[in-house]
Amino acid sequence: MASYSTNEFRGGLKIMLDGDPYTIVENEFVKPGKGQAFNRVKLRNLKNGRVVEKTFKSGESVEAADVVDVDMQYLYNDGEFWHFMDPNTFEQLSASKAAVGDAALYLKEQDIVSVTLWNGEPLSVAPPNHVELRVTQCDPGVRGDTATGATKPATVETGATVKVPLFVEEGDILKIDTRTGEYISRVKE
């Protein structure tokens, strides 16, 4: 089984801890001149996103986590699972609600998304940073109101609700930042 020594620790390295896969967020080498060296590490649990701190004795080895990010095309949702396809191999896999999480709100069929696999199983799904989605429901637009900065809620085709300016109409296509859930602009068709 692959393992990493603490002196290979760096941001982004994926390791196993208490049976869960983690990614290293921050690694600090701490050593008194004449004493034991330690690696003080901040790690994010890739299953639940929680960040923990842990101290290792320098030189120790930890098991590597078999975690890879793969670009896949989102195909469809069958009511229970979300289905994805590797556009190169045409291999398909399905991900549960736990793995897809809030990304579901931005998943549009045919879009290319980043699927994180742990031992070949989907662990999480990240939509593109920016997506373009059609408004399916919102209050009627207020023509010409581009200056007040007032907003209203709009629901888009994938189910997400975003705050939009008052001039937005049903049927408009919006550019949205999926990391913040914020409206960026209206897109011309």
**Residue 110, class by beta-carbon neighbours within 10 Å (0-12 exposed, 13-18 middle, 19+ buried)?**
exposed
Which of 1, 2, 19, 33 forms a contact with another protein (CB under 8 A)? Answer: 33
Binding flag, residue 30, another protein (CB under 8 A)? yes
Question: Distance (Å, rounded) from C-alpha 175 to C-alpha 128?
Answer: 11
Q: Which two tokens stand for residue 23?
A: 């990614």
Binding flag, residue 35, another protein (CB under 8 A)? yes
Query: Is the Cβ of residue 51 or residue 150 nearer to another protein in the bound state?
Result: 51
CB 125 within 8 A of CB 113: yes
Q: Which residue stretch of 57-65, 77-85, 153-161, 179-187 sits at the interface with another protein (rule: CB under 8 A)? A: 57-65
Which residue reads 């901040």 in tokens? 42
Which of 47, 54, 83, 108 forms a contact with another protein (CB under 8 A)? Answer: 54
Binding flag, residue 58, another protein (CB under 8 A)? yes
Which of 57, 130, 163, 179 forms a contact with another protein (CB under 8 A)? Answer: 57
Sign of the alpha-carbon dihedral angle for 121, 79, 98, 180: positive
Binding flag, residue 185, another protein (CB under 8 A)? no
Start-end of H helices in the chain: 97-100
CB 162 within 8 A of CB 174: yes
Which of 20, 25, 38, 44 forms a contact with another protein (CB under 8 A)? Answer: 38
**Minimum distance from residue 79 beta carbon to another protein (Å):** 41
Assign 25 to helix, strand or coil.
Answer: strand
Binding flag, residue 12, another protein (CB under 8 A)? no
Q: How far is CA 9 from the centre of its chain?
A: 23
Q: Which residue stretch of 23-31, 89-97, 101-109, 151-159 sits at the interface with another protein (rule: CB under 8 A)? A: 23-31
**Minimum distance from residue 128 beta carbon to another protein (Å):** 31
The size of the chain, in residues, is 189
Query: Is the Cβ of residue 5 or residue 180 nearer to another protein in the bound state?
Result: 5
Binding flag, residue 3, another protein (CB under 8 A)? no
How many C-beta neighbours within 10 Å does residue 64 have?
16
Interface residues toward another protein, by CB under 8 A: 7, 28-38, 40, 52-60
